[in-house]
Amino acid sequence: DAGVTQSPTHLIKTRGQQVTLRCSPKSGHDTVSWYQQALGQGPQFIFQYYEEEERQRGNFPDRFSGHQFPNYSSELNVNALLLGDSALYLCASSIRQGTGELFFGEGSRLTVL
């Protein structure tokens, strides 16, 4: 049973560019959440998707957007990249009617130069 998979694992971009990160949830999970983890910090909630709609959003600008597909996989898009967007981006999946336990992927490490 595959867990949460994310791609790419590492990427380097320059300021002003756009990036798309991808996530496949654990089998049987229907909800995907995205977190940003800056160096030395705990994960910060970006948003959560369920039934292809954004259901909750954290305190992130609208440069951060996402999408969920019918197969429950998800994308995180970040436009107009800033140096401060450099971080580990974690995708987590869960079951909508579960207890909120999140299963995390290995993350995508984004470096903005």
Give 30 or 75: the residue with its C-beta nearer to other proteins. Answer: 30
Give 40 or 84: the residue with its C-beta nearer to other proteins. Answer: 40
Give 16 or 72: the residue with its C-beta nearer to other proteins. Answer: 72
Amino acid identity of residue 96, one-letter, is R
Smallest gap from Cβ 105 to other proteins, in A, equals 5
CB contact set of 70 (below 8 Å; sequence gap of 6+): 52
Sheet holding 5-7, edge to edge: 5-7, 19-24, 74-78, 64-68
Smallest gap from Cβ 16 to other proteins, in A, equals 27
Give 14 or 54: the residue with its C-beta nearer to other proteins. Answer: 54
CB contact set of 72 (below 8 Å; sequence gap of 6+): 24, 25, 29, 30, 32, 93
What CA–CA distance (Å, rounded) separates 34 from 32? 7
Smallest gap from Cβ 93 to other proteins, in A, equals 9
Which chain residues interact with other proteins by CB under 8 A? 4, 31, 33, 35, 40-45, 48, 50, 55-56, 58, 90, 92, 94-107
